[in-house]
């Protein structure tokens, strides 16, 4: 509340012993106030035995008469109506009045959140407004289920102070110059600052084919961007096919973006060469699709193999592989194990077979010595299953997936 104080002493009259009436010192609301029953106090020096007061709407004409009053004083009848008012008090007899101009405003301002996230976001920024253009704002944020903190001053469009990942609630309310606080407007959002991890799950090896097919994924991704040989990034989806490739080395890169706008800062990449052509097989996309389907079948078969079985077996038989042409199929299962300088990949299963032509074939994979050791010592073992195929033209395709073997 803003307090007004006015004091004035009249100059003494030459040759007179008595002082002229003194303007009272007045305290009370001045400017906007949400108190419709405001209280004023007043006094004078030297003390005056009596005071007279009056109050009236600022636009009233004619003005009301002064009436006897005492400090403290509340204008009646109360509460006062909304709008601009004037309060005056004077010392009796006929002292110059002290005046306070104030505006009664008891209507709280509205609050609107104009822009801001309602789901995942990496940097929560909200803009808000009120129809009362003189209003300021207060905000608070808290997690669902927590006791909300006190409101604190805030500004529209300013990023919220750093908040941890997870679900949050932000509340905003407008405060007008009279001190009225509007009902809070709230938003629920999720802070997610963890970028997705992009993985290329299938692509060509060194090949004579001018066509390359890539498959890729990233948990939580809502989109991907790809580029070939350092060209501009473009939106893409898996599987992705490049054709009419030139002879020589090539590099493919892909990065994922999640719903919060986080982009993988380390794109996945794959390098290969297009060699001088020999036998050209036009079914590259079909073979890549067949390879991906067979990977699913092999994954199901491998998931049924228990670690205790793996610990005593020498080989594992994968009963089917559907080739579209003659070539070489390779199966590799690897596990990442910790070591002093980080982690390293260890072969668990390795298999290779020459297939004479199109059709379904069996592939037998050998259990490595290190694989049997891991199978004996672990209750579970995360592994990567990689399936590759090279046709007679030298074209190589591969695809991979991850799973966990159980005891």
Q: What CATH number does the domain containing 339 carry?
A: 2.60.40.10
Same-domain status, 296 and 319:
yes
Same-domain status, 218 and 173:
no
| Top-ranked range on mean pLDDT: pick from 125-134, 358-367, 383-392 | 125-134
Residue 6 has pLDDT above 70, yes or no: no
Segments of 218-267 assigned E as strands: 221-228, 234-236, 240-242, 248-258
pLDDT band at 281 (very low <50, low <70, confident <90, very high): very low
Predicted local distance difference test score (pLDDT) of residue 49? 73
Residue 39 has pLDDT above 90, yes or no: yes
**139, 154 in Cβ contact below 8 A?**
yes
Residue 184 has pLDDT above 90, yes or no: yes
Q: 121 Cβ partners below 8 Å, 6+ apart? A: 189, 190, 191, 192, 260, 261
Residue 267 has pLDDT above 90, yes or no: yes
Comparing 88-92, 196-200, 304-308, 357-361, the range with the smallest average pLDDT is 357-361
First to last CA, the chain: 73
Predicted local distance difference test score (pLDDT) of residue 19? 59
For residue 97, what is the DSSP state? P
Could you give the number of structural domains in the chain?
3
Residue 327 has pLDDT above 50, yes or no: yes
∠ CA 185-186-187, nearest 5°, is 140
In whole angstroms, how far apart are CA 37 and each of 52, 96, 103, 262?
19, 25, 12, 55
Predicted local distance difference test score (pLDDT) of residue 283? 54
Here the CATH number for the domain that contains residue 97 is: 2.60.40
Which domain-ending residue is among 144, 174, 191?
Answer: 191
Predicted local distance difference test score (pLDDT) of residue 1? 42
70 in a structural domain: yes
Distance of CA 254 to the CA centre of its chain: 23
Distance CA 372, CA 348 (A): 8
Q: What percent of the chain has pLDDT over 70?
A: 91
Which domain-ending residue is among 152, 169, 191?
Answer: 191
Predicted local distance difference test score (pLDDT) of residue 93? 76
Q: What is the mean pLDDT of residues 388-392?
A: 83
Same-domain status, 134 and 235:
no
Same-domain status, 186 and 204:
no
Find the domain containing 389 and state its range.
199-406
In whole angstroms, how far apart are CA 177 and each of 136, 156, 174?
8, 17, 10
Which domain-ending residue is among 84, 104, 124?
Answer: 104
Same-domain status, 278 and 249:
yes
Predicted local distance difference test score (pLDDT) of residue 15? 40
Q: In what order do the strands lie in the sheet with 268-274?
A: 234-236, 221-228, 248-258, 268-274
pLDDT band at 5 (very low <50, low <70, confident <90, very high): very low
Predicted local distance difference test score (pLDDT) of residue 137? 97
Q: What is the pTM of this model?
A: 0.57
Q: What is the mean pLDDT of residues 256-266?
A: 93
Residue 367 has pLDDT above 60, yes or no: yes
Same-domain status, 273 and 245:
yes
Higher pLDDT, 186 or 163: 186
Mean pLDDT over each residue of the chain, to the nearest integer: 87
Predicted local distance difference test score (pLDDT) of residue 146? 93
- How confident is the model over 75-131, as pLDDT tens digits? 998 899 999 999 999 988 778 999 999 999 999 999 999 999 998 998 899 999 999
Predicted local distance difference test score (pLDDT) of residue 280? 43
């Amino acid at each position: 509340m803003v307090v007004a104080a006015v004091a004035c002493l009249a100059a003494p009259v030459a040759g007179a012993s008595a002082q002229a009436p003194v303007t009272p010192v007045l305290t009370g609301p001045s400017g906007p106030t949400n108190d419709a029953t405001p209280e004023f106090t007043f006094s004078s020096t030297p003390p005056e035995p009596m005071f007279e007061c009056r109050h009236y709407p600022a636009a009233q004409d004619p003005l009301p008469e002064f009436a006897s009053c005492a400090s403290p004083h509340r204008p009646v009848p109360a509460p006062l109506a909304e709008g601009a008012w004037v309060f005056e008090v004077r010392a009796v007899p006929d002292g110059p009045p002290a005046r306070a101009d104030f505006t009664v405003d008891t209507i709280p301002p509205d609050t609107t959140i104009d822009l801001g996230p309602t789901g995942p976001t990496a940097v929560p920024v909200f803009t808000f407004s009120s129809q009362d253009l003189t209003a300021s704002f207060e905000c608070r944020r808290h997690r669902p289920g927590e006791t909300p903190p006190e409101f604190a001053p805030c500004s529209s469009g300013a990023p919220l102070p750093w908040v941890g990942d997870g679900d949050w609630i932000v509340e905003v309310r407008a405060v007008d110059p009279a001190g009225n606080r509007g009902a809070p407007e709230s938003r629920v959002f999720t802070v997610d600052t963890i970028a997705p991890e992009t993985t290329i799950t299938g692509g060509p090896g060194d090949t004579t084919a001018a066509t390359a097919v890539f498959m890729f994924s990233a948990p939580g991704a809502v989109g991907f961007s790809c580029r070939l040989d350092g060209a501009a990034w473009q939106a893409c989806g898996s599987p992705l096919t490049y054709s009419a490739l030139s002879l020589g080395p090539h590099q493919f890169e892909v990065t994922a973006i999640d719903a919060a706008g986080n982009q993988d800062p380390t794109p996945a990449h794959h390098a290969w060469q297009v060699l001088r052509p020999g036998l050209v097989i036009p079914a590259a996309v079909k073979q890549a699709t067949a390879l991906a389907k067979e990977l699913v079948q092999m994954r199901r078969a491998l998931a049924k193999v228990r670690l205790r079985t793996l610990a005593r077996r020498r080989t594992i038989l994968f009963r089917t592989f559907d080739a579209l042409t003659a070539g070489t199929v390779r199966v590799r299962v690897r596990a990442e194990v910790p070591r002093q300088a980080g982690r390293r990949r260890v072969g668990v299963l390795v298999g290779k077979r020459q297939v004479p032509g199109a059709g379904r074939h069996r592939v037998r994979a050998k259990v490595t010595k290190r694989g049997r050791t891991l199978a004996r010592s672990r209750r579970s073992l995360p592994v990567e299953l990689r399936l590759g195929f090279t046709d007679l033209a030298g074209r190589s395709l591969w695809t991979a997936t991850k799973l966990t073997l159980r005891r």
